[in-house]
Amino acid sequence: MRYFLLLFVLTCLAVVGVCGFRGSFTHRPPIELFPDMVRQNKVRPQTPSDFFANEESSRLMPVGTVAHTAAYVMGGQPLVIDGHPVYPYEDSPVNTGKIPGTTNFIAVNPVPLTRQLLDRGEQRFKINCMPCHGPAGDGKGITSKYNMISMANFHDQRLVNMADGEIFNTITYGKNLMGSYGANVPVEDRWAIIYYIRVLERSQLATVDDVPEPDRGPFKK
């Protein structure tokens, strides 16, 4: 026991001798056990650098780079909501699925519906969603044959009544057994998928009242 105490005292003296007391001042550089990349090699703009073949530190943007200020493009045109284009960094329902400044989900898809967007939604749904949720959105995808039986059925009334913003949030962050698809599916494609989900719901749950009056004849027989 006395050897342990002796070793402990010597260790404390060594630490104090090297590091000093808390709050003490010294002109010597501090000891950094974990510098955490405080100092690292870097190049400054407009300075020479022998790291690159042309010896210039300033580099051109990679091909295909999209500016941070670029607006979303839907069908070849910038997406405009309430008279101004929507940018990826904005607190906009397009980016969050929520009413700005609140935690409430928006009820209706904020992106204008076009045939091109709906076709895109069908394509993205078949790639990202159909394996689990099935081609009809009834939760009977191929994964159900491998004992994954808790997939959401979009024809359930709960999901039919669910706000579009909440579906967007689920796609983005995942829920229960469903993982996040925020990194896999761009914002524009998430809204396109939601439109296609609504189409699948209508295809199974539509009534004769949803058919235009002149075309109801065959359905009433």
> What's the pLDDT tens digit per position in 124-143?
999 999 998 989 888 888 88
Please report the pLDDT score of residue 172 as a whole number: 94
Neighbouring residues of 18: CB distance < 8 A, sequence distance ≥ 6: 31
Answer whether residue 28 shows pLDDT above 80. no
Mean per-residue pLDDT, 205-211: 74
Q: Give me the pLDDT at residue 34, please.
A: 80
Higher pLDDT, 167 or 66: 167
Q: Would you state the pLDDT for residue 165? A: 95
Give 33's DSSP letter. Answer: S
Residue 107 pLDDT: 94
The pLDDT of 144-170, averaged and rounded, is: 87
Given pLDDT bands bounded at 50, 70 and 90, which one contains residue 108? very high
Instruction: For 94-108, give one letter per residue: b (16+ CB within 10 A) or e.
Output: bbbbbeeeeeebbee
Average pLDDT over residues 83-90: 84
Q: For residues 13 and 18, give the distance between their C-alpha atoms in angstroms, rounded to a whole number.
A: 9
| Per-residue model confidence (pLDDT) at position 221 | 58
- What percent of the chain clears pLDDT 90, i.e. is strictly above it? 30
Task: For CA atoms 207, 213, 214, 216, give the dihedral sign.
Answer: positive
**Spatial distance between the Cα atoms of 115 and 95, rounded to a whole number of angstroms:** 22
More confident of the two residues 193 and 54: 193
Mean pLDDT value across residues 188-217: 84
How far apart are alpha carbons 215 and 217 in whole angstroms? 6
pLDDT for res 139:
85
Averaged pLDDT score across all residues of the chain? 84
